[in-house]
Amino acid sequence: MLQWMKNSKQHNLLFIDDSETEISFIQLLIEIEKLPIIAHFERTAQEGLEYLKSLTQDTYHAVVIVDINMPLMNGFEFAQAFEKKIAALAPNTKLFILSSTLRLSEIQKAKKMNIVCDFLEKPFSKEHFFDKILPKLTK
C-alpha cells in the first residue's frame, strides 16, 4: 500500500457537473485509485448552491469543483453566487473550475476570478487531486 494512503486524511469534495459520464468516471477513479476523497455530487449549479446553503459551518466541504458549461447557471455564475452567498460562511472551502473547454478566454476568465483557486481540465485525475488540490488544502 502506498504511504500516502496509510497516513491520508479523507477530504470532502463536492462535484457539480451535469454530465453523468463525468460523474461516473470520477466515482470510479476515486474507488480504483483509493483516493482520500469523500465525494458528494450535484447535477446542477442551483442544486449545488442549495446543498451548500443547507450545510452548517462545520460540515462544509474542503473543496467544491464546478463545471463551466451547464444549463441555466454555468460555472462562472455559480462562482459569483458562491462568492456572494457561501464564501463568508465557508472561508476554508476552496473552489475549482473543471471543464473540457478549449477556449483560452474561458480558461483565463476562470484563473482571473479571485474566488477560484485553479482551473482543472477534464477529465478529473488523481494528478489534479495531488498536484493542484491537495497543496491548496495544506496551506
Beta-bridge mates of residue 98:
67, 120
- Domains by residue range for the chain, with CATH: 10-137 (3.40.50.2300)
Local structure of 116: helix, strand or coil: strand
Confidence class for position 28, pLDDT limits 50, 70, 90: very high
Phi, psi of 56, deg, nearest 5: -95, 165
If you search the block for the grid coordinates 469543483, which residue do you land on?
Answer: 65
Q: Is the peptide bond before 123 cis (omega within 30 degrees of 0)?
A: yes
The model's pLDDT over 38-64, given as tens digits with 9 standing for 90+, comes to: 999 999 999 999 999 999 888 899 999
For 77-108, how does the pLDDT look when each residue is reduced to its tens digit (9 = 90+)?
A: 999 999 999 999 999 999 999 999 888 999 99
